[in-house]
């Protein structure tokens, strides 16, 4: 993966309400409510709490997320995560121990000759 | 303990609140209220009302600043809005337009 610039950390004492857009990577340890649209990688840390529509290239969830997720590359839900919402991504990984409620759409294209 | 950094390519439209220090290198529109200190870096653009204890501006701020302790306008910053704080420092080279209210009690 190409090295993208580290663009931001939302620390655990911080709450953001509204729209958050940008390029680069973002780590959320605090609270975000609203909409997130990010060019690269979004990580929601263990203490992070996100109630938002999320669009990103890649998403790693270790904390809590509710809202619909649209990732162009991959969504990874780790064992400490709690996720509610619909996920749309070509690759979705859910670890043992993770809590997930919602639908997953991997947008699989079957070959024509089947 | 500047834990939270809004990076240069991030745009936030809304409200930021919290009890932690905040560094803004990107763009924030709306409202900012943090407990201790806010730093607007050289690349930061803020169009918001700010409420905090300490503010340090090296970038651009449009909006009213209300600080309980100190506001520091560094050289090269551009600030448009009213500032209310007991201590205000303006460095040579800073551009500022607005009211300053240090809340001085008349003797």
* B73 phi, psi to nearest 5 deg: -100, 110
Q: How far is A96 from chain B (nearest CA, A)?
A: 31
- Computed on alpha carbons and rounded to an integer, the radius of gyration of chain A in Å comes to 14
Give pLDDT, residue A52.
95
| pLDDT, tens digit, 9 for 90 and up, residues B25-50 | 999 999 999 999 999 999 999 999 99
Confidence of residue A8 (pLDDT cuts 50, 70, 90): confident
Selected residue with higher pLDDT from B77 and B107: B77
Listing DSSP states for B69-106 in one string gives: EEEEE-TT-EEES-EE-SEEEE-TT-EEES-EE--PPP
Rounded mean pLDDT of B76-91? 94
Domain ranges of chain B: 4-101
A19 CB within 8 Å of a chain B CB: yes
A47 CB within 8 Å of a chain B CB: no
Which ipTM value was assigned to this complex? 0.77
| pLDDT, tens digit, 9 for 90 and up, residues A35-75 | 999 999 999 999 999 999 999 999 999 999 999 999 999 99
Helices and strands (DSSP H and E) totals, chain A: 0, 13
Decide if A16 and B10 are in contact by the 8 Å CB cutoff. no
Number of domains in chain A: 1
Rounded mean pLDDT of B48-70? 96
Task: State which residues form the domain around A21.
Answer: 6-105
| pLDDT, tens digit, 9 for 90 and up, residues A89-113 | 999 999 999 999 999 998 777 777 7
Q: Is residue A15 part of a domain?
A: yes
Confidence of residue A114 (pLDDT cuts 50, 70, 90): low
Q: Kindly list the residues from chain A whose CB atom is less than 8 angstroms away from the CB atom of residue B35.
A: 13
The answer, yes or no, to whether residue A2 has pLDDT greater than 50, is no
Nearest CA in chain A to B14: A18
Could you identify the residue written with the tokens 């990103």? A56
> Nearest to residue A43, comparing CAs of A26, A22, A67?
A26
Give pLDDT, residue B106.
76
Decide if B12 and A18 are in contact by the 8 Å CB cutoff. yes
Residue A5 makes CB contacts below 8 A (sequence gap 6+) with A24, A25, B7, B9
Nearest CA in chain A to B18: A14
B105 exposure class (CB count in 10 Å sphere: 0-12, 13-18, 19+): exposed
* B95 phi, psi to nearest 5 deg: -115, 135
Q: Kindly list the residues from chain A whose CB atom is less than 8 angstroms away from the CB atom of residue B44.
A: none
The residues with which A53 forms a beta bridge, in sequence order, are A35
The answer, yes or no, to whether residue A4 has pLDDT greater than 70, is no
Q: Is residue A22 part of a domain?
A: yes
Best residue of A7, A9, A12, A13 to probe chain B, by most B CBs closer than 10 Å: A13
B49 CB within 8 Å of a chain A CB: no
Give pLDDT, residue B107.
74
Distance (Å, rounded) from C-alpha B43 to C-alpha B10?
11
Selected residue with higher pLDDT from B103 and A53: A53
Decide if B10 and A8 are in contact by the 8 Å CB cutoff. yes
Distance (Å, rounded) from C-alpha A46 to C-alpha A23?
23
Nearest CA in chain A to B24: A8
Give pLDDT, residue A24.
86
The answer, yes or no, to whether residue A17 has pLDDT greater than 70, is yes
Give pLDDT, residue A1.
38
Q: Is residue A55 part of a domain?
A: yes
């Amino acid at each position: 993966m190409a090295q993208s610039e580290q663009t931001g950390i939302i620390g655990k004492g911080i709450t953001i309400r509204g729209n958050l857009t940008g390029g680069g990577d973002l780590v959320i340890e605090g609270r975000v409510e609203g909409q997130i649209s990010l060019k690269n990688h979004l990580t929601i840390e263990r203490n992070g709490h996100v109630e938002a529509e999320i669009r990103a290239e890649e998403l790693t969830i270790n904390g809590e997320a509710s809202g619909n997720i649209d990732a162009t590359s991959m969504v990874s839900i780790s064992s400490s995560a709690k996720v509610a919402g619909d996920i749309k991504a070509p690759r979705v990984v859910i670890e043992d121990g993770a809590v997930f409620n919602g639908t997953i759409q991997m947008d699989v294209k079957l070959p024509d000759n089947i | 303990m500047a834990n939270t950094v809004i990076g240069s390519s991030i745009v936030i439209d809304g409200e930021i609140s919290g009890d932690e220090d905040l560094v803004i290198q990107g763009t924030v529109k709306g409202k900012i209220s943090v407990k201790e200190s806010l730093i607007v870096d050289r690349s930061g653009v803020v169009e918001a009302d700010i409420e905090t204890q300490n503010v340090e501006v090296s970038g651009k701020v449009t909006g009213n600043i209300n600080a309980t302790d100190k506001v520091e306008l560094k050289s090269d910053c551009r600030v448009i809005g009213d500032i209310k704080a007991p201590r205000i420092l303006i460095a040579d080279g800073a551009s500022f337009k607005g009211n300053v209210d240090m809340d001085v009690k008349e003797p």
